[in-house]
Structure 1
Amino acid sequence: MSFQAASSPLIVQTGEQEPSALSYTEMVEKFAQTTLKTKLPWFEEEQTFTGIKVTDLLKFYKIEDVTSVSFLALNDYTATTKIEDIYSYEPIIAYEINREKIKVRDKGPYWLIFNLKKYPELDNIDFHAQMVWQINKITIHSKHDSTKT
């Protein structure tokens, strides 16, 4: 495993509980891998992304009444996705692009990806803005917590 993979945990905050950290290895071992091919506005050609579905992450943490999920990047950029869109479009938290671990300089270690090829209606600025790259923290919001988006 590379130094980057070992040193880049994904922090998950669920309501008022203590944050937990998921390593790359844990993501690969504990979750089903999902691979999709799509064209994104940042590339000229289609790319193949591998990662885990956000819906699988929500099932793993067993949070009820989820309203939205926020994704925070290394540069403090944050975007929030409504739970309806997460279930309708099943975005993934990608950790590989074209079968290679995503490096920080290439928008890694984790990148929220919507499948614009499968759902062309998402190919607009609102959904582009939600595709946070260099994710280092995810906050799961529910009706029962007091954290704000």
Structure 2
Amino acid sequence: MSLHPRLPRRGALALGLALAFSTLTAAAQGLPEPKGRVILTVSGQIEQTNRGKDAAFDMAMLEALPQQSFTTRTPWFDKPMKFTGPLLSDVLAAVKAKGQTIKASAINDYTISIPVADAAAHGVIVARLLNDQPMPVREKGPLFVIYPFDSKAELRSSTYYERSIWQLKRMSIE
């Protein structure tokens, strides 16, 4: 009896082995190695790594993830600004994050805890562009965790403003 109605027994076995091998190969490959300067390191409870126990991202790796944009008002700019970058949930999926909390740290060592649940619930992005331009360090870059404040009244509060960390350099998943 064949495992698949259209394949003889040997064909089904070969197909099964090929699928198992490709799954193991993909899992073993993990994240690609960054080719440029590392701008974000993710550590902690993650399953995909590329630098020891960490996942290191250069800008090209973040650009390769699906990109999202929104325009929102913030306390830091005098007019609505457009932010573009991967969803925080996509960054977490890329490293196969398993924790409940993100401890995010900035270049100046500012650190804030962000619930992992915020990523999906609010469409948070790791912005790499501000008004379609890369963000230099002196202008809150190169990465800025940003909430779409104008999408929900509840997001316009100090709780979410504090979680919007600019000059992001590291995330530890706990």
1:72 and 1:135 in contact (8 A); partners too: yes
Structure 1 Cα separation of the partners of residues 95 and 129 of structure 2: 23
- Which residue matches 1:3? none
1:48 and 1:97 in contact (8 A); partners too: yes
More strand per residue: 1
Aligned partner letter, 1:19:
D
2:55 and 2:95 in contact (8 A); partners too: no
Count of residues paired in the alignment: 134
Structure 1 Cα separation of the partners of residues 158 and 97 of structure 2: 29
- Alpha-carbon distance, 1:15 to partner: 2.6
Counterparts of 1:76-95 in structure 2, within 5 Å, are 76-95=109-128
| Aligned-residue CA RMSD (Å) | 1.5
Q: Which has the larger radius of gyration?
A: 2
1:102 and 1:109 in contact (8 A); partners too: yes
Q: So what's the TM-score if we normalise by structure 2? A: 0.72
- The alignment status of 1:33 with 2:39, answered yes or no, reads no
**RCO higher in structure (CA 8 A, sep ≥6):** 1
Could you tell me which runs of 5 or more consecutive residues in structure 2 were left unpaired when the two chains were aligned: 1-35, 47-51
More helix per residue: 2
Structure 2 Cα separation of the partners of residues 63 and 41 of structure 1: 30
- Which residue matches 2:58? 23
Q: So what's the TM-score if we normalise by structure 1? A: 0.84
